[in-house]
Amino acid sequence: MCLAVPGRVLDIGEKDGTRMATVDFGGVQKEVCLEYLPDLRVGEYAIVHVGFALQRLDEESARQTLALFEELGMLQEEFGDPWEQAAAQAGADSPWPFADGPFADGPASGEAAAPQHVQEEGRP
């Protein structure tokens, strides 16, 4: 799910000719495009969707929304590690769902694992 999340502008700069900001979303910081809100300033809050600041927001509304999203687990869903989320949804006890597979111990540092060849039934 993609949410429109309120965030606080920490700093503003330019990247490749585009006005950008570092925005804090309750502890998670992301780079956000400010082209739709060219007059947004450091310290102000904005609603951000898919990397674009879309609307200015007052601080109290932003804090209430962030608290609600956190309570509902929506911030983890939006900003969390997608691999951890997939493992959790699959009910896996470990972060890697193939704990008994060929990479269970992992390849040695700097080495690639040897390919596993499987012979299909009826083929040489």
3-state DSSP assignment of residue 34: coil
The residue among 74, 71, 76, 59 whose CA lies nearest residue 7 is 59
Distances, alpha carbon 60 to alpha carbons 21, 49, 57, 82, 116, in Å: 21, 19, 9, 30, 56
Q: pLDDT tens per residue, the chain (124 residues)?
A: 466 889 999 999 999 999 999 999 878 889 999 999 999 999 999 999 989 999 999 999 988 988 887 787 766 656 655 555 555 666 655 554 445 555 555 544 444 444 444 454 555 5
Distance of CA 114 to the CA centre of its chain: 32
Measured between alpha carbons, how far is 49 from 78 in angstroms, rounded to an integer? 11
| Amino acid 113: pLDDT | 46
Start-end of H helices in 44-118: 59-72, 74-79, 82-90
How far is Cα 38 from Cα 25, in angstroms, rounded to an integer?
A: 20
Q: Is the pTM of this model over 0.85?
A: no
> What does the pLDDT read at residue 117?
46
DSSP string, 2-22: ---EEEEEEEEEEETTEEEEE
